[in-house]
Amino acid sequence: MHTLGVVIMMTADCQKYFTLKYQKGLIREGLFKYIRHPNYLGEIMLYASYAMIVQHWIPWAILAWVWIGVFLVNILQKEASMSRYKNGKNIKGRVACLFQNRFRFSSKKAQRN
């Protein structure tokens, strides 16, 4: 989990740097095609791996406080900032925030049943 988190974080940083160097706006390919905030996902995985090693509830409580108090606040600010782009609302409907939902049911399937 630790290594995967670092890889996701570094890949997102590199992709963001090189894409925004040549093209301004929202990134819609690579990791950002599937997850709107891959940097936060990588950091969450990284820190969660340390808490798993310790196997105690205190690190999880501290992480929950940081994730809610810092990460969630920053994610909500980024979400509000994304809505100013012309495709921002469209991306919110298509791309998962942190975790891809593989069991998403479309409204068409629900209407057929």
Structure confidence by residue, pLDDT tens digits, 8-34: 999 999 999 999 999 887 888 889 888
Cβ atoms < 10 Å from Cβ of 76: 10
Mean pLDDT value across the chain: 82
Q: In total, how many domains does the chain have?
A: 1
- CA 82 to the chain's CA centroid: 13
Cβ atoms < 10 Å from Cβ of 67: 16
Question: Mind listing the pLDDT tens digit for each residue in 43-65?
Answer: 999 999 999 999 999 999 999 99
Pick the residue with more confidence: 92 or 66? 66
Which tokens in the block code for residue 41?
A: 């996902």
pTM over 0.85: no
Residue 90 has pLDDT above 50, yes or no: yes
Domain that holds residue 9: 2-112
Q: What is the DSSP letter of 106?
A: P
